[in-house]
Chain A
Amino acid sequence: MKRVYVNEKWCLGCHLCEYVCAFANSGMKDMAYALKGKPIYPRIHVEGDEKISYAVSCRHCTDPICVKSCIAGAISQVDGVVQIDRNKCVGCLTCVLVCPYGALAEGENGAMQKCELCISNSFGEPACVKNCPNRAIVFEERGEAQ
């Protein structure tokens, strides 16, 4: 399955992926209108320090512990993609407690959110990958865990 990977050496730490992600999942057509002057809720975030930086988003694990831990049965895996039904989520944060990558966070209305590879928004493919100015973020097949 294709996943989002980040090359630490190329990541500039510019945070543009965070803005593009928030826009891609905003459901709006205009980026400025969607983001300007508002707190943003991206599903990818840049970590690191002045020496190294990299963006983190859901790994779509082959054996996802968040799916097994969700108290509402709101997280599921469909064709390898880990998805969250934000309508069912009650915001208990158990997924945050168990995800070893720190890939889930609270969204705008208290329900959790996570990277779903842009499959259900208007982009259709990961917007962070498409818009990374240094091509540090890639979307590719690197095999599955055994």
Chain B
Amino acid sequence: MKKYVIIGNGVAAVGCIEGIRSVDLDSKITVISEENHHVYGRPLISYYLENKTDLERMNYRSKDFYEKNGCEVLYGRKAVKIDTAAKKVILDDGKKLPFNEVCVATGSSPFVPPFEGLDSVENKFTFQTLDDALSLEKAATKDSKVLIVGAGLIGLKCAEGLYGRVESITVCDLADRILSSIFDSDSAELMQRHIESKGINFLLGNTVSRFDKTKAYMKSGEQIDFDILVLAVGVRPNTALVKETGGEVNRGIIINDRMETSIKHIFAAGDCTEGDDSSVGAKRVLALLPNAYMQGHTAGINMAGGEKVFDKAIPMNSIGFFGLHAMTAGNAEGEVYEEKGENSLKRLFTKDGCLAGFILIGITERAGIYTSLIREKTPLCTLNFDLLKKSATTASFSPEIRRKKFGGVV
């Protein structure tokens, strides 16, 4: 019998538990959960504010998940050290948990730059956890003026969540466009116009130079009055536990395609890691929920003595705002095929005979067919690209490939 310890209780942890249990049904699993909540889908916190889900439905797995999987969850506890010599995880209450294999699934934390005068702001929030969403829900009133610093995925999802609950929302970002991590300027502009049409204000290429209680003084000279401040500048992987143990850490915890860190018996998965991005052939932090699950699952299988590699991680995002959906995957480089409509945009990027990436806004049907071509690095000469670029359809595949995909064993 082995002893497994999982540090963290997010989606990567669930993947890890299910991975372990696909190999080892008996050994004990201990989960250390800093948050006092049953595992929930972290990206759902904006949908919670939007009333598109509730605390019950946000549970990522059924209520009896831990029990059914023989897990003990230590809620409200934090791991402070991994003692590799004694093979024990040390908790903030001094308790020591012996382990044979440990998985670090500590996620990421909001990065808050040292803005001048930030201490004088009373109602300030980050938007990363369910507790953040619950606090925001409490603070937000019909009269609230909200200032969100950061026009990335987190800041804009927060804006969408708060929309309708508050009087006004202003979003500022140092970058000159919204969603700068996934969009080029045209796609950002299209989405920005759509979000602006709902009444959300943007101040781009602009940032706060100092705060004074309920006033933000912008670099541009403008003054913004607010009563709720949300800081969504970015997140940083939580790497300290592995770093202090002497494990290899860059921006994230370095892992190989078995999810092993540089230290034996310590695995890592999810937003805290930096693993192979197969679309560029280099290590990158890919803080995306599907990757977190797949990394966790892979780690779990290997921790339990199985054999599994996960070497197909690529950047990909599906995100919608006020009914307009956008999807991106891979990398926006190479030759471009483009279709533009009033409220839609399709950009397919081809490079070295393969689909390298795409940006889709408003035309997202069957986009997974495109994504799989990026993931599998399918040579485009094996299919009818003229048909494929117009529509994501398996009709563009050769009859042989299609029959193999649909006709037989999947």
Interface residues of chain A, those whose CB is within 8 Å of chain B, are 3, 5-6, 8, 47-49, 52, 54, 56, 59-62, 65, 68-69, 71-73, 87-88, 90-102, 104-105, 142-145
User: Which chain B residue shows the least CB distance to A97?
Assistant: B318
- A71→B368 contact, CB < 8 A: no
> Which of the listed residues B329, B368, B371 has the most CB atoms from chain A within 10 Å of its own CB?
B368
Q: How far is the CA of A55 from the CA of B325 in the complex (A)?
A: 26
B395 touches A98 (CB 8 A): no
Return the contact of A96 from the options B367, B399, B406 (Cβ within 8 A).
B367
Alpha-carbon distance A61/B405, docked complex (angstroms): 11
B372 touching A94, Cβ below 8 Å: no
List residues of chain B with CB within 8 A of the CB of A60. Answer: 410
Q: How many angstroms between the C-alpha atoms of A92 and B324 in the bound complex?
A: 11
- By the criterion CB–CB under 8 Å, are B368 and A96 in contact? yes
* Complex Cα gap A87–B316 (Å): 25
Which B residues are CB-close (under 8 A) to A100?
A: 368-369, 371-372, 405
Residues in chain B near residue A6, CB distance under 8 A: 406
Contact A72 B41 (CB under 8 A): yes
- The A-contacting residues of B in range 27-49, CB under 8 angstroms, are 41-44, 47
Contact of B409 among A68, A96, A101, A144 (CB under 8 A): A144
Whether A93 contacts B366 by the Cβ 8 Å rule is: no
| Cβ-neighbour of B394 out of A56, A98, A142 (below 8 A) | A56
Q: Which 7 A-B pairs have the closest CB atoms?
A: A102-B366, A100-B372, A69-B290, A73-B60, A99-B368, A97-B318, A90-B47
A104–B58 CA distance with the chains assembled, in angstroms? 21
Q: Taking A48-B395, A102-B393 as contacts, is the C-beta distance between A92 and B60 under 8 angstroms? A: no
Minimum C-beta distance from A12 to chain B (A): 16
In the complex, B293 has a CB within 8 A of chain A: yes
A-B residue pairs in contact (CB < 8 Å), sample of 22? A3-B410, A6-B406, A49-B395, A52-B399, A54-B402, A68-B15, A68-B293, A69-B289, A71-B42, A71-B43, A71-B44, A72-B41, A73-B14, A93-B327, A96-B318, A96-B327, A97-B368, A98-B290, A99-B368, A100-B368, A100-B369, A104-B368
Apart from A52-B395, A92-B319, list 19 A-B contacts with CB within 8 A: A5-B406, A8-B399, A48-B395, A52-B399, A59-B410, A68-B293, A69-B290, A72-B57, A73-B14, A73-B61, A93-B318, A96-B327, A97-B327, A97-B368, A100-B368, A100-B372, A101-B406, A102-B366, A142-B408
